Amino acid sequence: MEKYIKRWSLSEFSKELLSRFSLKTGKEEKVHNNTVTNWFNSLESQNIHYVPKSDEIRQFDELDLEIALFIMEMRKENWQLDAIFKIIPRKFDVRLQEPRVMTEEETKPYQEGDLLEAFYQNLKQMDERNRSQNLGIINYLELNNKRSNKLSELQSLQLEKKDLQIDLTQLENKLDNVDLRKEYLEILSLKQKSENVGRTKNKGFFAKLFSGPDSDQEEEIESDVSTEQSDKLSKLDEQRNNLLSKMAHIKREIENKEKQISVLSKEVESDYSQPLVKAKEKLLIETQEKLFEKGESDI
């Protein structure tokens, strides 16, 4: 069963569109049938949205009415059609005549914030007269855009700092491991030295004097063992110094990131957040003044 059942011909559709627009906005507007036709011709030619036809005559339904109402509202706000058409596939469950691969932008879930961004892009295409009539919203959106960029930069710095902290933790674990191995070798070396001293004390004068080749061989082995442990300790010291150097470098980088984060956080608050609140307040006042001038204020 189709979601939208009621259908209109072009002339009936245009009348229903004007009626809905009047109910929604409280304003009486006119739109020519040719204008409506041109909207849907453009949507169809760009394969954005398709209206079914019967005997080559379009049969509009409730979905088409919602789309047309959206176009009409945005056009009254001086939006360019290209900008409006970019929002439609994300805001409505559009009907396609031919299968096509949706763009990455079109597949993103629609959010109200997207409307502000699209409006900001649309303002760039406005002529000077329309721009001068929307200075409040332009100022607000430009501040909001700059603040968003700064917040993205701040988030990147925070992620970079987190990665550095992870690297530092890994180096600290490696250093602990090196220190444990070094401590073990030092204890082992002291133990062997102690055993060597004990064996020497237990030998008498004549035993030392008339000791044979086996005794010399034992001393050589002990000397080799001592040299090997000394080499291992030297390598561990080298590894330890290398780890300490890397850790010191990462700590300096973390300190730099923290300084950048601190400065950027203050900028976001002082240069953008506070002015943004004031711009929003000013925008609301300007909107109320415009409504009052038109006699549409509730006050």
Query: Which DSSP category does 54 fall into?
Result: E
Give 243's pLDDT tier (boundaries 50, 70, 90): very high
CA–CA separation, 253 and 181 (whole Å):
29
Is residue 118 a contact partner of residue 83, using CB atoms and an 8 Å limit?
Answer: yes
Lowest mean pLDDT of 113-122, 130-139, 165-174, name the range: 113-122
Q: Which long-range contacts (CB under 8 A, 24 or more apart) does 78-84 make?
A: 78/126, 78/130, 78/133, 78/134, 79/119, 79/122, 80/122, 80/125, 80/126, 81/39, 81/42, 83/118, 83/119, 83/121, 83/122, 83/125
Residue located via tokens 């979905």: 63
Res 72 pLDDT > 90: yes
As given in the structure block, the two tokens for residue 223 are 């000397």
Taking residues 268-292, what's their average pLDDT? 63
Give SS3 for 109: coil
CA–CA separation, 92 and 49 (whole Å):
10
Taking residues 84-105, what's their average pLDDT? 75
CA–CA separation, 23 and 264 (whole Å):
47
In this prediction, residue 297 carries a pLDDT of 38
Residue located via tokens 């597949």: 107
As given in the structure block, the two tokens for residue 93 are 């469950």
Res 210 pLDDT > 60: no
In this prediction, residue 293 carries a pLDDT of 53
Res 71 pLDDT > 90: yes
Neighbours of 123 (CB within 10 A): 19
Measured in degrees and rounded to the nearest 5, phi and psi for residue 107 equal -85, -10
Alpha helices in 77-134 (DSSP H): 81-91, 104-107, 112-123, 128-132
CA–CA separation, 133 and 153 (whole Å):
32
Max CA separation in the chain (angstroms): 129
In this prediction, residue 298 carries a pLDDT of 40
Residue type, 216: D
As given in the structure block, the two tokens for residue 120 are 């900001």
Give 153's pLDDT tier (boundaries 50, 70, 90): confident
CA–CA separation, 122 and 25 (whole Å):
22
**pTM score of the predicted model:** 0.43
As given in the structure block, the two tokens for residue 204 are 């008498």
As given in the structure block, the two tokens for residue 278 are 């004031």
In this prediction, residue 257 carries a pLDDT of 92
Taking residues 143-149, what's their average pLDDT? 75
In this prediction, residue 149 carries a pLDDT of 81
In this prediction, residue 35 carries a pLDDT of 94
DSSP letters for 163-210: HHHHHHHHHHHHHHHHHHHHHHHHHHHHHHHHHHHHHHHHS-HHHHHT
CA–CA separation, 250 and 167 (whole Å):
8
In this prediction, residue 112 carries a pLDDT of 45
Res 270 pLDDT > 90: no
Is residue 161 a contact partner of residue 258, using CB atoms and an 8 Å limit?
Answer: yes
Calculate what percentage of the chain has a pLDDT beyond 90: 29
Query: Which DSSP category does 78 fall into?
Result: T
Between residues 291 and 168, which one has the greater pLDDT? 168
In this prediction, residue 189 carries a pLDDT of 78
Q: Which of 6, 73, 5, 7 is nearest to 39 (CA)?
A: 73
Res 117 pLDDT > 60: no
Give 120's pLDDT tier (boundaries 50, 70, 90): low
Taking residues 119-132, what's their average pLDDT? 54
CA–CA separation, 131 and 296 (whole Å):
23
Give 266's pLDDT tier (boundaries 50, 70, 90): confident
